[in-house]
Amino acid sequence: MLTRRIIPCFDVDNGRVVKGVSFVNLRDAGDPVELASQYEEDGADELVFLDITASSDDRTSTFELIQRTAEQIFIPLTVGGGVRSPEDVRRMLESGADKVSLNTAAVENPDLIEQSANGFGSQCTVVAIDAKSTGDNQWKIFTHGGRTRTDIDVIEWAIEVTERGAGELLVTSMDSDGHKEGYDIPLLRAIRDKVRVPIIASGGAGGPEHFFFFFTSGGADAVLAASIFHFGEHSIKSVKDYLSAHGITIRPVN
Amino acid sequence: MRDVVIVDYGAGNLLSVERAVKVAGGKPIITSDPKVVASATGLIVPGVGAAADTMRNLRERGLDRVISAFIESDRPFLGVCMGMQALFDISREGGKHECLGVLGGEIVRFPEEAVVPHMGWNIVNQVSEHPIMAGIETGFHFYFVHSYFAAPTESACVIAEASYAGVNFPAVVGIGNLMATQFHPEKSGPAGLRLYQNFIDLLS
């Protein structure tokens, strides 16, 4: 049986992890490569790097980082942030990323989704969706890291990107992101009902019980989580133990 | 160090396969040269993407025949993901595409209502003995990404199975020195590395 995935996510700026971390055993908690190895050992099913480097001229550090990380880990690595062209996708994949996540650039230029899917395959083309509720079970797409509101309906967009070849969706509920109060389950459910590609739920995982609800009520295939693991409140193992005890199929931590 | 030739036919990055071979004790040689492929001791055909592209890329480079001939010679061969699907007669992915035809059967899609790709870690259950599975216990998880699977004419080639969307499908196939996995062992942690090591152990 296919297991539900737990995916730690790092925000990376100029080759360093910038969200606060408190791993006690790490020599350098800011080094993404060391963190990636630690998470792999702890039972992470995949890893996501979100590159928030401000200047797109300075992506060299990102490509080097992907390469150094890919040399260390034997689980899938997704990289997102600042991917604007098929050339960016190619460079990410050649550096060792297994999947590339498209966000703002896909909204501004939806052809990029086809270009990535046709050129490199749907399996490596992830579309990230930042959604905010406008009431009455309606959500709008936000871009530029959540700073810019669009008039695009989230459900319609999810259907469109899937038709264009996205192989997976990474859905962030901006109403719950960072609040650790649990996810916008109706949002997840509404997308799950309309598209037949895997969905990674992101935002609002504050405790093991949230993961449980994303997987059950929300129908998520995977959950992306940052701060819950980085701050050492919970380990991947403790979350997986909880899920397993509550009947969710997970890959056991060795 | 035992040489392992990895076929590069322009489909995605081969870094992770190369690295896995290295860690498992082999010396990876990445090539698209049919002569290098023909003279290999051990051969790996990896691959992601669509069947039609894969077969076109192999034919354009004159690799399809040398790969078939290599397998015919009974030297150790490992196909991964698309490199496994290409071994069968026909793929139904986006039409009807003739593949290498080394194994009898078709590549077919998961049911319409299934969430595809089948993406993530799934349990692999061994159904027959083969050295490629040495030290890999039934019930270990491996990483899959695919929307189509192999339906072999003869079930005798099936070494291990996985289950998704109500379908039991071959996760590992093999006959003698011909071996292939639907999952990505290079993305499957220690169990995947063990599989590469088992392959390299077969190279004399």
Domain ranges of chain A: 5-245
In chain B, % of residues over pLDDT 70:
99
A121:B49 CB<8 A = yes
DSSP β-ladder status, A199-202 and A222-225: parallel
The 10s digit of each residue's pLDDT in A84-140 is 999 999 999 989 999 999 999 999 999 999 999 988 889 999 999 999 999 888 999
Q: Where are the domains of chain B?
A: 2-201
Contact A74 B192 (CB under 8 A): yes
* Nearest by Cα to B56 from B11, B105, B101, B108: B11
**The predicted structure's pLDDT at residue A23:** 47
Q: Is the pLDDT of residue A55 over 90?
A: no
A193 vs A189, A199, B34, B116, B129, CA distance in Å?
Answer: 6, 11, 48, 14, 42
Note if the pTM is more than 0.90.
yes
Residues from chain B contacting residue A48 (CB–CB below 8 Å): none
Distance CA B167, CA B152 (A): 14
Catalytic residue among A130, A177, A184, A221: A130
- Higher-scoring residue by pLDDT: A60, B162: B162
Q: Is the pLDDT of residue A22 over 50?
A: no
pLDDT of residue A30: 78
Contact (Cβ atoms closer than 8 angstroms) between residue B51 and residue B94: yes
Nearest residue to B85 via CA among B8, B146, B140 = B146
pLDDT band at A203; cut points 50, 70, 90: confident
pLDDT score, position A21: 46
Residue at token pair 């004419």 = B153
What is the three-class DSSP state of A183?
A: coil
- Least Cα distance to A25 among A49, A48, A5, A41 occurs for A41
| Tokens matching residue B70 | 């290599």
Q: Is the ipTM of this complex over 0.90?
A: yes
- For residues B37 and B66, is the Cβ–Cβ distance under 8 A? yes
Fold of A5-245: TIM Barrel (3.20.20)
User: For residue B115, which residues of chain A lie inside 8 Å, CB to CB?
Assistant: 196-198, 221
How does the average pLDDT of chain A come out, rounded?
Answer: 89
* Terminal-to-terminal C-alpha distance of chain A: 18
Question: Do residues A208 and A239 touch, judged by C-beta distance below 8 A?
Answer: yes
Does position A182 have pLDDT exceeding 90, yes or no?
A: no
From the list A86, A5, A97, A90, the residue with the least C-alpha distance to A51 is A97
Tell me whether strands A125-135 and A138-143 are parallel, antiparallel or unpaired.
Answer: antiparallel
Residue B52, helix vs strand vs coil:
helix
Helix then strand then coil, % of chain A, to nearest 5: 35, 25, 40
Task: Tell me which chain B residues have a C-beta less than 8 angstroms from the C-beta of A70.
Answer: 15-16, 19
Residues of chain B contacting residue A93, judged by C-beta atoms under 8 Å apart: 12-13
Which CATH number describes the domain made up of B2-201?
3.40.50.880
A vs B, Cβ pairs < 8 A, gives 88
Instruction: Give the HSE-up count for residue B56: Cα atoms under 13 Å, Cβ half-sphere.
Output: 7
Does residue A58 have a pLDDT over 90?
no
User: Smallest Cβ distance to A1: which of B20, B119, B123?
Assistant: B123
Is A234 in the B-facing interface, judged by CB distances under 8 Å?
no
* Partner residue facing B122 (CB), from A2, A40, A121: A2
Q: Crossing angle for the helix pair A86-95 and A60-70, nearest 10 degrees?
A: 40
B48 vs A4 pLDDT, higher one: A4
Q: Which two tokens stand for residue B111?
A: 């049911």
At A24, the pLDDT band (50, 70, 90 cuts) reads very low
What's chain B's average pLDDT? 95
Peptide bond into A110 cis (omega under 30): no
